[in-house]
A and B are shown apart, each in its own frame.
Chain A
Amino acid sequence: MLPNRGVHWLFAALAGVAMYFVALPEAHAVPSFSRKYHTSCQTCHTVYPVLNAFGEAFRRDGYRFPSTDGSVDSDVEKAPSVELGQDQYKKMFPMAVWPDKIAEAVPLSIWLNGGVAANLPGSAAADGAGNNFAWGGIAAEMHIFGAGSFSDNVTYMAQLTLETDFGDPPGSFDVETAYLLWNDILGPSHLVNLWVGRLFAPQLTSYGLHSSFLSDTVMPGVSVGGLYNATAGLTLGQGHTDGVELNGIAGHRFGYSLGWIGSTTAPGLSMPNSEDVYAHVGFKLGGLSLDGEGGGASTDTQRPWAETSLTFDVFGYHGLSRLDNGTGAVPNGTATPIQQDDRISAVGGLLHGQLGSLVLMAGLNFEHHDRPYPGSAATAGPNGTVFNGVPDLTSANAIVQYDEVDYIVWPWFVPGVRAEFTQTSVEGASNAQLMRIIPGIAMLARPNIKFVLSGDLEWANNLPVVGSWGPAGGMIAPNPGQSKFEAEQINATVGLAF
Chain B
Amino acid sequence: MKPILTLIVPAAVVAVALLALEGACNKVGDCPASSDIKPGGSCEGDNLECPFTLQTPSLACDGTAVEGGLATSCICTNGAWVCPDPVSCEAGATDDGAVDGAVDGAVDGAVDGAGEAGGDDGATDDGGGDGAVESAAGDAEAGSGDGSTD
The chain A residues found within 8 Å of chain B, CB to CB, are: 186-187, 192, 246, 260, 263, 272-275, 277, 320, 325, 327, 338-341, 343, 370, 375-376, 379-391, 393
Contacts and interface: CB of A to CB of B under 8 A. Distances in A.
A186 B10 contact: yes
Contact of A325 (B9, B23, B49): B49
B98 A387 contact: no
A233 to B, nearest CB: 14
Interface stretch (B35-43, B83-91, B115-123, B129-137): B83-91
Given A272-B26, A275-B24, A388 B84 contact: yes
A376 B71 contact: yes
Interface in B73-97: 73, 75, 84, 87-89, 93-96
20 contacts: A192-B10, A263-B26, A277-B21, A325-B49, A339-B46, A339-B47, A339-B49, A340-B49, A341-B48, A375-B49, A381-B87, A382-B59, A382-B61, A384-B98, A384-B99, A385-B102, A387-B70, A389-B72, A391-B31, A391-B73
A389 B59 contact: no
The number of chain B residues touching the other chain, given as a range, is 35 or more
A132 B94 CA distance: 53
Contacts of A186: 6, 9-10
Given A274-B24, A382-B87, A327 B73 contact: yes
B65 interface: no
A327 B49 contact: yes
Contacts of B93: 383
B17 interface: yes
Contacts of B1: none
Nearest to A320: B26
Given A383-B98, A391-B73, A275 B25 contact: yes
Given A246-B13, A385-B87, 8 more contacts: A186-B9, A339-B46, A379-B59, A379-B70, A382-B88, A388-B84, A390-B71, A393-B50
A246 to B, nearest CB: 8
Contacts of A383: 88, 93-95, 98-99
Contact of B73 (A275, A277, A382, A388): A388
A320 B28 contact: yes
Contacts of A274: 24
Interface string B43-55: 0001111110010
Contacts of B72: 379, 387-390
A389 B73 contact: yes
Contacts of B10: 186, 192
Contacts of A388: 49, 72-73, 75, 84
Contacts of B9: 186
B12 to A, nearest CB: 12
B51 A385 contact: no
Nearest 9 interchain pairs by C-beta:
A384-B95, A383-B98, A339-B47, A273-B24, A387-B72, A341-B28, A388-B73, A390-B51, A272-B26
A244 to B, nearest CB: 9
Contacts of B25: 273, 275
B62 to A, nearest CB: 11
A382 B86 CA distance: 11
Nearest to A380: B59
Given A381-B59, A382-B61, A260 B99 contact: no
A320 B102 CA distance: 32
Contacts of B98: 383-385
Nearest to B54: A387
Contacts of B31: 391, 393
B29 to A, nearest CB: 8
A395 B93 CA distance: 41
A276 to B, nearest CB: 9
A338 B96 CA distance: 20
* Residue from B21, B47, B73, B87 with most neighbouring chain A CB atoms (10 Å): B73
A388 B84 CA distance: 8
B103 to A, nearest CB: 10
Given A192-B10, A385-B87, A275 B71 contact: no
